[in-house]
Amino acid sequence: MTQKRFLAIVYCKMATTRSFALVFVFILCGIVLAPAEVTQQQEDVILSDLVRSLNATLEYDPLSHAGTITKAGHDVRFALGVPYVLLDWSTLKTVPSPYDADDSLRVKQEFVNALREFFQTKPGVSSKYLVKAIVIDPGHGGKDPGAIGEFTDFKLQEKDINLAIASRLAELLRIRYPDRAILLTRTDDSYPSLEQRVDMANTIKLSETEAIVYISIHANASFNKNTRGFEVWYLNPDYRRTVVDDETAKEKGQDIAPIINTMLEEEFTTESIILAQKVYQRMGKMIGDDSPGRGIKAEEWFVVRNAKMPSILIEVGFVTNRDEALLLAQAAYLRRIADAIYNGVCDFIEHFEQ
What is the nearest approach in angstroms of Zn ion to the Cβ of residue 12? 40
What is the nearest approach in angstroms of Zn ion to the Cβ of residue 300? 15
Nearer to Zn ion, 183 or 194 (CB): 194
Nearer to Zn ion, 71 or 218 (CB): 218
CA 133, CA 31: separation in Å to the nearest integer? 47
Nearest to 322, CA basis, from 87, 165, 156 = 156
- Residue 138 pairs in a beta bridge with 217
Nearer to Zn ion, 98 or 229 (CB): 229
Task: Give the DSSP H/E element, type plus range, for residue 129.
Answer: none
Nearer to Zn ion, 146 or 310 (CB): 146
What is the nearest approach in angstroms of Zn ion to the Cβ of residue 147? 6
Nearest to 312, CA basis, from 295, 293, 299, 325 = 299
Binding site for Zn ion (CB under 5 A): 139, 146, 218
CA 94, CA 116: separation in Å to the nearest integer? 14
What is the nearest approach in angstroms of Zn ion to the Cβ of residue 227? 15
Q: How far is CA 258 from CA 221, 240, 249, 252, in A?
A: 39, 11, 8, 10
Tell me the residue number closest to Zn ion, measured at CB.
218
Other C-beta atoms within 10 Å of 76: how many? 25
What is the nearest approach in angstroms of Zn ion to the Cβ of residue 289? 24
Nearer to Zn ion, 78 or 301 (CB): 301
Own/partner pairs for 8-16, CB < 8 Å, 24+ apart? 9/66, 9/77, 10/77, 10/86, 10/92, 13/86, 13/89, 14/89, 14/90
182 sits in the region (left: phi over 0; alpha: psi -120 to 50; else beta) called beta
What is the nearest approach in angstroms of Zn ion to the Cβ of residue 229? 15
Nearest to 146, CA basis, from 166, 173, 124 = 166
Nearer to Zn ion, 218 or 308 (CB): 218
CA 122, CA 124: separation in Å to the nearest integer? 6
What is the nearest approach in angstroms of Zn ion to the Cβ of residue 328? 13
Nearest to 347, CA basis, from 293, 296, 291, 274 = 274
Nearer to Zn ion, 139 or 149 (CB): 139
Decide if 306 contacts 269 (C-beta within 8 A).
Answer: no
Q: How far is CA 53 from CA 32, 48, 354, in A?
A: 34, 9, 20
What is the nearest approach in angstroms of Zn ion to the Cβ of residue 184? 16
Nearer to Zn ion, 108 or 218 (CB): 218
